[in-house]
Every structure is written in C-alpha cells, then in structure tokens.
Amino acid sequence: MGHIINGKQLSAEVLQQVAADVAALKAELGVTLGLAVVLVGDDPASQVYVRNKVRQAGEAGIRSIEHRLPADTSQATLNALVDSLNHDPKVHGILVQLPLPDHLDEDDIIAAINPDKDVDGFHPLNVGALAAAQPGLVPCTPLGCMIMLQQAHGNLSGKHAVVIGRSNIVGKPMAALLLQASCTVTIAHSRTRDIAAVCRDADILVAAVGRPELVKADWIKPGATVIDVGINAIERDGKRKLVGDVDFVDVAPVAGAITPVPGGVGPMTIACLMKNTVTAARKQLSDIQPAVAVGQS
C-alpha cells in the first residue's frame, strides 16, 4: 500500500497559517478580511460547497458576506452585484459559485470580477499571469495539488507529470504549475491514443477528468505519486458512494503515494481558497499604513 496523502491534515495546516496571517493583518492594519460568496439558484451540491466555504472562512477569521440569489436572476442583476462587490473596500475576495444556471454566461461573470479579488483564479488576467509565470491568483484545486506534491516529493524538478484532463479549472492550470516546478508535462485527454501507456510513463499522475474509477493499477508506474481530483457520486451495493477518477483499491498497492476520495484534494481546495483570500487582501492593502495603537505616536 502506497503512502496515503492526508488532505484533511494538510488542509488544517494551511488553514492554521491562514488564520495566523489574517490575525496579523488585522493587528497591523486594523482590517478584517472579507470574502463575498455569491450563490445563484438552489443546486444541492453548490449549497454544500458554499456552506463549507463559509464555515472555513469563519474558522480562519475571515468575514463571509453571502449573497443568495434566485435561479431566475438576470445577467444584468448578477453583473451589477459583482460590480458593487468590486468597489466595496470591505470585500477582499469574490467567489461566484459555479455552475451557474444555464441562462447565465459564466465567462461574462468571471471576466466581470476584479482580477485582484478573483480568489477562484479564473479571470483571464490571472490565467494569463499563470501561463507567463507572473504573480497572480492561482485556481484553488491545482494550488492545493501542488502543495500536496511538494509535501510528498520536495523538489519536483525533472519528474515526468501526466495530467489527465484539459479543463480551464484544473487540467490546464495544473500543467502550468507543474511546468513552473520544472517537470516534464504531458496533458492526456479523451483523444489521447493509448492513454494507459502514456500514464504508465508518469512519475506524477494527476487525474482530473470526471470519470469514476477510470484509472486502474495497470496505468501506474510502480512507485508513482497519484493525485485524484475527481469527485463522482455512484451507486454501489444499493448505497450512494463518492469515488474519484482513480480506482483507489486497485491503484493504492502500486502507487508510491496517493490521495483518497473523499479526504484528499477536496479539503485542500477550500483551504487554498482561504489562502488566496489572504494573497488578494495583501495586494489590495499594500498601500495602507499600519494601525497606530492608542497611546502611541
């Protein structure tokens, strides 16, 4: 059995550092960090995600500002809300929970968010900054994956990393971060020929394709590190169960290290959202003078 990378434990460490950073910013500048969370409609999964994000923000000392809108909210109304949050100095991060109802243009909403407050890291300017290896806000899930990989390996330079999936949210930014770490990177996807053979050459395999238990043991180089981003609900033995894109039971004996589902990448994604909120706030507050305590001059 390979080493199981404990996302719950590692995310707790990240959140502990976030809480310390939030407290330090409040002590130095007298500012309470604010995270605006916008939820449109009543999608059950989105409601769970938002509830978890709000809870984690509170535990880290970040003030949550929730905006829950009906499913029939217009594009103009949502854009106007985002614009108001962009100009609110008490809001340091803005998260619009995806997916949005079908009649709303997600790309338009993402582009409407001030890139300095885009804690999801989806704005085109932040995407471009990541591609150019410039400072910016990085998508939370790939950022969490990188923290896990660095804990497992330390220096990633020279390793062959295969990313299964080419989404803008995970696959592409994951590949960009791995390139920045001097990995040799291959992106595999639905059109890749003999995808199992491609994966067998990987020192690091990141599965982010949304297909339950796609990756089997014979896809894995012995001793490889496997990061499973997938979260899929399936029925098994008459019960609902969450599984990843990797067949954990099959793959774990072959892998050198592996993330479980649940309890792996998921907790790290929320922890990195809080980490991004601190990063965003620091940039916005960089020109504010430190608070002067009473009795000091």
Confidence category of residue 296, pLDDT binned at 50, 70, 90: very low
Beta bridge partners, 235, equal 240
Report pLDDT for 2.
80
Report pTM. Answer: 0.93
In the chain, ranges of CATH 3.40.50.720 domains:
140-265
The CATH superfamily of 22-116 is: Leucine Dehydrogenase, chain A, domain 1 (3.40.50.10860)
In the chain, ranges of CATH 3.40.50.10860 domains:
22-116
Report whether pLDDT(150) > 90: yes
For 65-89, what is each residue's pLDDT tens digit?
999 999 999 999 999 999 999 999 9
**Quick one: residue 160, left, alpha or beta (phi over 0 = left, psi -120 to 50 = alpha)?**
beta
For 84-115, what is each residue's pLDDT tens digit?
999 999 999 999 999 999 999 999 999 999 99
Report whether pLDDT(178) > 90: yes
What is the set of active-site residues? 53, 97, 120
Report whether pLDDT(292) > 90: no
Confidence category of residue 291, pLDDT binned at 50, 70, 90: low
Beta bridge partners, 188, equal 164
- Please tell me whether 51 is known to bind a ligand: no
Q: How far is CA 211 from CA 98, 226, 254, in A?
A: 19, 16, 20
Report pLDDT for 289.
63
Domain 140-265: CATH class, spelled out:
alpha beta
- Please tell me whether 166 is known to bind a ligand: yes
Report pLDDT for 295.
43
